[in-house]
């Protein structure tokens, strides 16, 4: 039987300005979806669930999400405009992920009462952030380090006995991670951003409980 002609598109190299095959419209969605965690935490601050909710611990989570949001919004906006020559190896992405580690540190300060653990977690996140700027850093290492940063601030929630908040927050986190891995037709990254809003909500409640 005759062989089928090759698809001419199959031999074309991938555009290095494109992250994981996402379209400009999907990158706009990625940028806008990063507003969700900040809005969730802001609404908790404006409409506190308890009289003791507003305090230094919940303020740290509010500030952490507020600091990170502009970096991520900028990065995905530049991707939408195809303004970055390389979608992975660039300064805006490194800034985005550096501020993720800053948020991890601030959330850890909000959720832990152990100065030793806070010092350890802070030192590790500083190391992880520094590795982002090293020419020997790999994509796999960056993702593992971000996961480690999240785990470091989530562990005190479980140890404190906030089992329901921990379980629901983890469910949001793993749902978002699953959507990002599965891609969901290119929309999974933004779905992950939205799901971090659920994680931020439940862990913010835990920070509020520590102030009661």
Confidence band for 87, pLDDT divided at 50, 70 and 90: very high
CA dihedral 124, 89, 181, 190 (to 10 degrees): 100
Q: What percent of the chain has pLDDT over 70?
A: 94
pLDDT on residue 13 = 61
153 closest CA partner among 99, 208, 103, 97: 103
CB neighbourhood size of 32 (10 A): 15
- In this prediction the pTM is 0.91
Q: What is the DSSP string of 112-179?
A: ---HHHHHHHHHHHHHHHHHHTSTT--HHHHHHHHHHHHHHHHHHHHHTT-HHHHHHHHHHHHHHHHH
Summarize the confidence of residues 171-196 as an average pLDDT. 97
Question: For residue 5, is pLDDT > 70?
Answer: no
Q: Does pLDDT of 190 surpass 90?
A: yes
pLDDT (tens digit per residue) in 57-69: 999 999 999 999 9
Mean pLDDT, range 63-89, rounded to an integer = 97
List pLDDT tens digits, range 8-51.
444 446 899 999 999 999 999 999 999 999 999 999 999 999 99
Contact 207, 199 (CB under 8 A): no
Exposure b/e, 1-14, CB count within 10 A at least 16 = b: eeeeeeeeeeeeee
Helices 24-33 and 188-211 pack at an angle, to 10 degrees, of 0
């Amino acid at each position: 039987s005759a062989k089928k002609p090759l698809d001419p598109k199959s031999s074309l190299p991938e555009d290095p300005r494109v992250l994981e095959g996402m379209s400009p419209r999907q990158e706009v969605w990625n940028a806008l979806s990063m507003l969700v965690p900040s809005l969730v935490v802001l609404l908790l601050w404006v409409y506190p669930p308890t009289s003791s909710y507003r305090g230094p611990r919940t303020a740290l989570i509010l500030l952490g999400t507020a600091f990170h949001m502009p970096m991520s919004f900028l990065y995905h906006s530049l991707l939408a405009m195809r303004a970055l020559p390389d979608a992975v190896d660039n300064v805006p992405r490194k800034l985005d992920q550096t501020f993720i580690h800053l948020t991890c540190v601030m959330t850890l300060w909000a959720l832990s009462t152990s100065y030793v653990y806070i010092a350890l977690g802070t030192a590790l996140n500083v190391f992880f952030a520094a590795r982002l700027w090293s020419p020997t850093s790999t994509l796999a290492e960056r993702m593992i380090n971000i996961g480690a940063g999240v785990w470091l601030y989530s562990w005190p929630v479980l140890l404190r006995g906030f089992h329901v908040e921990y379980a629901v927050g983890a469910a949001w986190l793993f749902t978002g991670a699953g959507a990002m891995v599965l891609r969901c037709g290119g929309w999974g990254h933004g779905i992950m951003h939205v799901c971090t809003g659920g994680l931020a909500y439940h862990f913010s409640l835990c920070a509020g409980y520590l102030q009661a």
